[in-house]
Amino acid sequence: MQIIDGKKVSAEIIEQIKIETEDLKQSSGKTPGLAVVLVGEDPASAVYVRNKGRACERAGFSSFEHRLPGDTPETDLLALVKKLNEDSEVNGILVQLPLPEGMDSQKVLEAIDPAKDVDGFHPVNVGGLASGISDLAPCTPAGIMELLDHYQIPIEGQDVVVLGRSNIVGKPAALLLLKRNATVTICHSRTKNLKDITARADILVSAIGRAGSVTADMVKEGATVIDVGINRGVDGKLTGDVDFEAVSPKTSYITPVPGGVGPMTIALLMKNTLTAFRKQNGL
């Protein structure tokens, strides 16, 4: 069993991006810029947003943080997005989710210029992903692909089971794996005989959001287990969806929580921002 070190792989990717960014700054005189918008006071979101700012610094990007009160009218948020769309210093726009109750997230995501949509959540980019032509894929699923490739875990022809069908993780993860010729099954809360399905998986991706969801009897001997869950226990400790202690001895590769998929999301956000910067400047 090998524990996948997402923290290390993430650091390597950001280091590589920094080198490329230095070159591009030299040749173009321009600096990639990422705008992050946080509405409200959700403490977990505040931590994510802070980490994104730090990653920008490490990558050599400009970072623009916009914090709006939780009772901001939707029209004000839409006006800010419009301003960021028109700002040539801003190459990527990320509106941190979830938005406060009462805001129409889909409407806000659709207001972002698809060329600056580094989350890959705009319908244009979702469509591109479904067609296999997108270059801005959602960061967490794209991070999973980078981890699998880094550890040279085969994907083509493998049986992959994705637990969860969210627009942020489950659905785009399934599409990226399908593009790489995996045989993909998506399971969710209404799936029957879940254990029979997961037990066939060469790669099991869990994006459920409930601790203890993946138990040892659900996992095939020698499988790769990717845990996307981030659950805070009553003791304040972070755990994934997977019962790591019981499951890990059965696996070939497994991601820990924290230190697995989490750090990769930020690395891929930097990568998407650099991609957006290049395309916007014809570099």
Buried b (16+ CB within 10 A) or exposed e, 209-219: bebebbeeebb
Shortest Cβ distance from residue 98 to ligand GUN (Å)?
7
Cβ distance to ligand GUN smaller for residue 81 or 247: 81
Tell me: cis bond preceding 114? Omega within 30 of 0 counts.
Answer: no
Instruction: Choose among 232, 270, 216: nearest CA to 1.
Output: 216
- Between the alpha carbon of residue 273 and those of residues 27, 124, 134, 138, the distances in Å are 18, 17, 14, 12
User: Based on the number of CB atoms within 10 Å of its own CB, is 51 exposed (0-12), middle (13-18) or buried (19 or more)?
Assistant: middle
Find the residue with minimal CB distance to ligand GUN: 97
- In the complex, least distance from residue 15 CB atom to ligand GUN, rounded to whole angstroms: 22
Catalytic residue chosen out of the listed positions 96, 202, 220, 241: 96
**Candidates 5, 113, 119, 202; catalytic one:** 119
User: In terms of CB distance, is 6 or 197 closer to ligand GUN?
Assistant: 6
Q: Is 96 a catalytic residue?
A: yes
- Residues in contact with ligand GUN by CB under 6 A are 94-97, 119, 139-140, 168, 265
Q: Which H or E run includes 34?
A: strand 33-39
Name which of 1 and 47 has its Cβ closer to ligand GUN: 47
Instruction: Based on the residue annotation, tell me whether 52 is a catalytic residue of this protein.
Output: yes
Taking the complex as a whole, how short is the minimal distance between the CB of residue 75 and ligand GUN, in angstroms?
20
To ligand GUN, the closest distance from the beta carbon of 94 in angstroms equals: 5
Which of 177, 219 has the CB closer to ligand GUN? 177
Residue 25 a catalytic site member: no
Name the residue nearer to ligand GUN (CB basis): 119 or 243.
119
In whole angstroms, the minimum distance from the beta carbon of 273 to ligand GUN comes to 13
Q: Is 93 helix (H, G, I), strand (E, B) or coil?
A: strand
Tokens of 235: 């003791």
Query: Would you call 277 helix, strand, or coil by DSSP?
Result: helix
DSSP notation for 209-270: --TT-B-GGGS-TT-EEEE---EE-TTS-EE-SB-HHHHGGG-SEE--SSSSHHHHHHHHHH
Residues catalogued as catalytic: 52, 96, 119
